[in-house]
Structure 1
Amino acid sequence: MAQKRSIFEEVGSSGKAAPLPQPGLIDRGTAGARGAIRIWLVVIFALVAVMIVVGGMTRLTDSGLSITEWKPVTGALPPLDDAAWAAEFAKYQASPEYQLQNKGMSLEAFKSIFWWEWGHRQLGRVIGLVWALGFLGFLVTKKIPAGWTGRLLVLGALGGAQGAIGWWMVSSGLEGDRVDVASYRLAVHLGLAFLIFGLIAWYVLLLGRSESALLQARRNREAKLFSLSTGLMHFAFLQILLGALVAGIDAGRGFPTWPLMNGQFFPADAFYVPGRPTWAAFFENPGLVQFIHRMSGYLLFAFGVVVWLRGRASAHGTTRAAFHALFAMLVAQMALGIATVLTAAHPHVAITHQIGAILLWVLILRARYLSQYPVAGSIRKGTQ
Structure 2
Amino acid sequence: MPFDLRSPHPATAQHAGGNPRAIAWWLLGVAAMVWIMVAIGGATRLTGSGLSIMEWAPISGILPPLTEAEWRRLYDLYRTIPQYELVNRGFGLEGFKQIFWLEWIHRLWGRLIGLAYLLPLAWFWASGRIPPGYRWRLLGLLALGGLQGVVGWFMVASGFEPERTAVSPYRLVLHLGLALVLYAALLWTALTLLRPAPAPVGAEERAARLGVRRAVVLATWLLVAAMLAGGFVAGLRAGFDYNTFPLMDGRLVPEGYAMLSPFWRNMTGNVAAVQFNHRLLATLAGLAALGAAALAWCRLPPGRARLACLALGGATLLQYALGVATLLLVVPVWLGTLHQATAVLVLSAALLALHALRAPAR
Q: TM-score, normalised by structure 2?
A: 0.90
User: What is the CA-CA distance between 1:150 and the residue it aligns to?
Assistant: 1.3
Q: Who is 1:97 aligned against?
A: 83
Letter in 2 for 1:315: P
In the alignment, which of 234, 245, 252 is matched to residue 265 of structure 1?
Answer: 252
User: What is the CA-CA distance between 1:374 and the residue it aligns to?
Assistant: 7.1
1:165 to 2:188 alignment: no
Letter in 1 for 2:170: Y
| CA distance in structure 2 between the partners assigned to 1:367 and 1:284 by the alignment | 34
1:1-384 alignment, distance < 5 Å: 30-209=16-195, 211=196, 214=197, 216-217=199-200, 222-272=209-259, 278-312=263-297, 313-372=299-358
Q: Identify if the C-alpha distance between structure 1 residues 35 and 357 changes in structure 2 by more than 3 Å, giving closer, same or farther.
A: same
Letter in 1 for 2:134: W
| CA distance in structure 2 between the partners assigned to 1:278 and 1:25 by the alignment | 52
Taking only aligned residues, the RMSD between alpha carbons, in angstroms, comes to 2.1
Q: Percent identity at matched positions? A: 37
| CA distance in structure 2 between the partners assigned to 1:27 and 1:37 by the alignment | 11
User: What is the CA-CA distance between 1:258 and the residue it aligns to?
Assistant: 0.7
Q: Which sections of structure 1, spanning at least 5 residues, go unmatched?
A: 1-23, 376-384
Q: Which sections of structure 2, spanning at least 5 residues, go unmatched?
A: 1-9
Q: Identify if the C-alpha distance between structure 1 residues 80 and 317 changes in structure 2 by more than 3 Å, giving closer, same or farther.
A: same
Q: How many residues align?
A: 347
| CA distance in structure 2 between the partners assigned to 1:39 and 1:295 by the alignment | 37
Residues 261 and 267 in structure 1, CA contact (< 8 A), matched pair in contact too = yes
Q: Identify if the C-alpha distance between structure 1 residues 131 and 25 changes in structure 2 by more than 3 Å, giving closer, same or farther.
A: closer
Residues 318 and 374 in structure 1, CA contact (< 8 A), matched pair in contact too = no
| CA distance in structure 2 between the partners assigned to 1:28 and 1:95 by the alignment | 55
Residues 218 and 288 in structure 2, CA contact (< 8 A), matched pair in contact too = no
- Which structure 1 residue ranges, 4+ long, deviate > 4 Å from structure 2? 24-29, 215-221
Structure having the higher Rg: 1
Letter in 2 for 1:271: A
User: What is the CA-CA distance between 1:40 and the residue it aligns to?
Assistant: 1.2
Moved more, 29-38 or 341-350: 29-38
Q: Identify if the C-alpha distance between structure 1 residues 27 and 65 changes in structure 2 by more than 3 Å, giving closer, same or farther.
A: closer
Residues 66 and 92 in structure 1, CA contact (< 8 A), matched pair in contact too = yes
User: What is the CA-CA distance between 1:309 and the residue it aligns to?
Assistant: 2.0
Secondary structure of 1:258's counterpart equals coil
Q: TM-score, normalised by structure 1?
A: 0.85
